[in-house]
Amino acid sequence: MGKTKQQKQEMLADIKQSLSETQLTLVIDYKGLSVAEITDLRRRLIPTGTACTVAKNTLMGLAVKEDSNWQPMEQLLAGSNAFLFLKDDLGSAIKAYQEFQKATKKTEFKGGVMEGRLLTEADVKAIADLPSKEELIAQVAGAINSIATKVAVGLNAVPTQLATGINEVPASVNRAIKAISDKEQQGDAA
């Protein structure tokens, strides 16, 4: 029994909602996957904040037609497609899909869409190779910490060098007085 018009409109609204919350959408051919394998893929993607949806191409076509950010996806809407809606941690989500693909060898990557641009497999792999948000935050924190450490060491060195200089003044004065005294004695002896 087919879906009613009301059910299709609800599905269309759900797809549009998912697209509005998504940074990147991947399209994969899921032909040959069992229900258990699709469930496994969904479980792998959950920790990354990614949703895997199987939808009819006509429904997805209607959802992307009016939004210029997602219109390039129309080129990928042929065959049996599953759509991965990547929201936050793009690199981890792509890596989770790639691991699943290696394990099952049944899915085919068709393409992706991000910010109105159609992405190839190489583009998506390049995104996966970028450091995660946590890694970037750690790198920035490390850089800030090293600057603060260098400033503290520099500020600490100024009083130390000043104290050394002050300690050196009396010794220098003593040497100068002794040198003058020695000259005067040599002048008196001559």
Mean pLDDT score of the chain, rounded to an integer? Answer: 83
Q: Are 89 and 49 in contact (CB under 8 A)?
A: yes
* Nearest by Cα to 86 from 23, 3, 174: 23
Beta bridge partners of 54: 82
Which of 3-12, 43-52, 107-116 has the weakest average pLDDT? Answer: 3-12
pTM of the entire predicted model: 0.67
Residue ranges in the chain assigned as alpha helix (H): 5-20, 35-45, 57-65, 90-104, 121-129, 133-189
pLDDT tens across 75-99, in order? 999 988 999 999 888 888 889 999 9
In the predicted model, is pLDDT for residue 181 greater than 70?
A: yes
Which of 63-77, 91-105, 136-150 has the weakest average pLDDT? Answer: 136-150
Residue 28: how many other CB atoms lie within 10 Å: 24
Average the pLDDT over 167-176 and give the result: 70
What pLDDT score does 1 carry? 53
pLDDT tens across 20-32, in order? 899 999 999 988 8
Q: Are 111 and 118 in contact (CB under 8 A)?
A: yes
